[in-house]
Amino acid sequence: MASVGVALRGRCTCARTGAVKQAPSVQTQPTKRHLNTRRQHSDAFSRQAEKDQQRDFIMSVLEAHPSARDSRFYLKNFGPNPASAPRSSSSLAEDTPAFPLSDQSTPTTAFTHTVSSSSSRTSEEPTEGKTELANELLAPENRHTALVKVQGPFTDRQLESIAEGMVYLKKLGLVSIIVVDNEAWMEKEKETMLETSLEEKRKKVIKLREEMKKETLRFTSMLEAKGGEARPLLEGVLCVSGAEFEDTWAPIASTSAQPLDSAMTSDLFVDSLSGIRDAIRRGEIPVIPPIALDASCFSLCVSGNDAVRAISSGLADHARRAGLRYEADERLRNDVDLTPVRIMVINREGGIPSPARGGNPHLSINLSAEFDHINSTFVWQESHPTSLANLALVNACLAELPRTASAVLVSHRSPRSLIANLITNKPAHSPSLHQSLLPHDNIKHQPTIVRRGLPIRVFRSMKDVDIPALTHLLEASFGKTLDAEPFYERLERDLDFCIIAGDYQGVAIVTNESPDPAAVDYPTSSSSKPIAYLDKFAVLPSLQGDGTVDFLWGALRDESFGLGLLDALNPNVGGLQGLGEGRDLVWRSRSNNPVNKWYFERSNGFFKIPPPRGSPVGFALFWCEAEDRAGAFRRSEEDVKAVSSKLKEWSEVVGAIPSCWV
Q: In sequence order, which residues have a C-beta less than 8 Å from that of residue 36 and are 6 or more positions away?
A: none
- What gap in Å lies between CA 252 and CA 189, rounded to an integer? 11
Here the CATH number for the domain that contains residue 519 is 3.40.630.30
Residues 583-592: pLDDT tens digits?
Answer: 999 999 988 8
Residue 588 within any structural domain of the chain: yes
Q: What is the pLDDT of residue 658?
A: 85
Task: From residue 545, give the alpha-carbon distance in Å to each of 218, 423, 425, 476, 553.
Answer: 38, 12, 8, 16, 13
Q: Write out the residue range of the structural domain in which residue 552 sits.
A: 456-655
Is the model's pLDDT at 52 over the cut of 70? no
Q: What is the pLDDT of residue 577?
A: 86
- What gap in Å lies between CA 556 and CA 641, rounded to an integer? 27
φ and ψ at residue 410, rounded to 5 degrees: -140, 150
Residue of 345, 277, 278 whose CA lies nearest to 315: 277
Contact 148, 344 (CB under 8 A): yes
Residues 302-335: pLDDT tens digits?
Answer: 899 999 999 999 888 876 765 544 454 445 555 6
- What gap in Å lies between CA 465 and CA 472, rounded to an integer? 13
Residue 303 within any structural domain of the chain: no
Q: What is the DSSP letter of 145?
A: E
Task: From residue 138, give the alpha-carbon distance in Å to each of 78, 208, 225, 478, 637.
Answer: 11, 40, 19, 37, 58
**Range with the largest mean pLDDT of 61-75, 99-113, 237-251:** 61-75
Residues 179-225: pLDDT tens digits?
Answer: 999 999 988 877 777 776 788 888 888 899 999 999 999 999 999 99
Residue of 288, 317, 304, 276 whose CA lies nearest to 401: 317
Residue 61 within any structural domain of the chain: no
Residues 368-418: pLDDT tens digits?
Answer: 999 999 998 899 999 999 999 999 999 999 999 988 899 999 998 876 778
Residue 645 within any structural domain of the chain: yes
φ and ψ at residue 152, rounded to 5 degrees: -80, -165
Q: What is the pLDDT of residue 309?
A: 94
Q: What is the pLDDT of residue 516?
A: 63
Residue 543 within any structural domain of the chain: yes
444/73: higher pLDDT:
444
- What gap in Å lies between CA 134 and CA 545, rounded to an integer? 23
Residue 332 within any structural domain of the chain: no
pLDDT (mean) for 107-126: 37
Q: What is the 3 state secondary structure string of 30-90?
A: HHHHHHHHHHHHHHHHHHHHHHHHHHHHHHHHHCCCCCHHHHHHHHHHHCCCHHHCCCCHH
Is the model's pLDDT at 642 over the cut of 70? no
DSSP 455-490: -EEEESSGGGS-HHHHHHHHHHHHTS-B-HHHHHHH
Residue 585 within any structural domain of the chain: yes
Is the model's pLDDT at 294 over the cut of 50? yes
Count of domains observed in the chain: 1
Contact 494, 513 (CB under 8 A): yes
Alpha helices of 237-386 — where are they, by DSSP H? Answer: 274-281, 304-320, 367-377
Give the pLDDT band of residue 115 (cuts 50, 70, 90): very low
Q: What is the pLDDT of residue 365?
A: 94
φ and ψ at residue 293, rounded to 5 degrees: -95, 140
Residue 619 within any structural domain of the chain: yes
